[in-house]
């Protein structure tokens, strides 16, 4: 679990999301600094779309 102290006491600061796509053999998967990860896929394009969807969902708080 990721933990960060707030920059200013009394405020919360969420860690920035950084996604990395890794390959192992013919499979690839995405992992994020927040702890999210995608299942292993043979399709690199699908893995990239899932990572983009994750980042978009985290950027839109509403």
Please list, in sequence order, all residues whose beta carbon lies within 8 angstroms of the beta carbon of residue 4, skipping any fewer than 6 positions away.
13, 15
> Is 0.85 surpassed by the pTM of this model?
no
What pLDDT does residue 50 have? Answer: 95
**Cα angle, residue 38 at apex, residues 32 and 17 outer, rounded to 5°:** 15
Model pLDDT for residues 8-36, shown as the tens digit of each residue: 544 455 568 899 999 999 999 999 999 99
In this predicted structure, the answer to whether residue 51 has a pLDDT above a threshold of 70 is yes
């Amino acid at each position: 679990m990721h933990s960060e102290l707030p920059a200013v006491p009394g405020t919360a600061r969420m860690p920035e999301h950084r996604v990395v796509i890794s390959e192992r053999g013919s499979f690839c998967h995405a992992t994020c600094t927040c702890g999210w990860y995608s299942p292993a896929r043979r399709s690199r394009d699908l893995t990239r779309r899932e990572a983009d969807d994750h980042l978009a969902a985290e950027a839109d708080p509403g």
